Amino acid sequence: MKQTTLDVCKRGERGRVTEVMGEGALQSRLAVLGLRAGEEVTLLRVSPLKRTYLVETRESVFALGREAASCVRVRL
């Protein structure tokens, strides 16, 4: 079980969110989409340039830029 941020994960890895850092507005948006502490998250795809991540949560499927992805700590 290792702790890491979402932007260094590999395609297909699944884990649980431990913490979402960042500004309040970003935290709200990510929380609404399902990235909250304790929720499950799966990394579906990574874009070719490794700048965009396709993420699946209980709530929805969405794309995340690298800056936002680096704010999400997960435990795999």
Which is nearer to other proteins, 58 or 75 (by Cβ)? 58
- Residues 74 and 76: their CA atoms lie apart, in Å, by 6
Tokens in use for 43?
């990394």
> What is the smallest separation between the CB atom of 56 and other proteins, expressed in angstroms?
6
Quick note: the x/- pattern for other proteins over 28-47, rule CB under 8 A, is: xxxxxx----------xx-x
Give yes or no for residue 64 binding other proteins (CB under 8 A).
Answer: yes
Tokens in use for 51?
């700048």
Which is nearer to other proteins, 40 or 75 (by Cβ)? 40
> What is the smallest separation between the CB atom of 50 and other proteins, expressed in angstroms?
7
Asked if 38 and 17 count as a contact pair (C-beta separation under 8 A), the reply is: yes
User: Any residues with CB less than 8 A from the CB of 66 and at least 6 apart, and which?
Assistant: 7, 50, 51, 52, 53
Give yes or no for residue 18 binding other proteins (CB under 8 A).
Answer: no
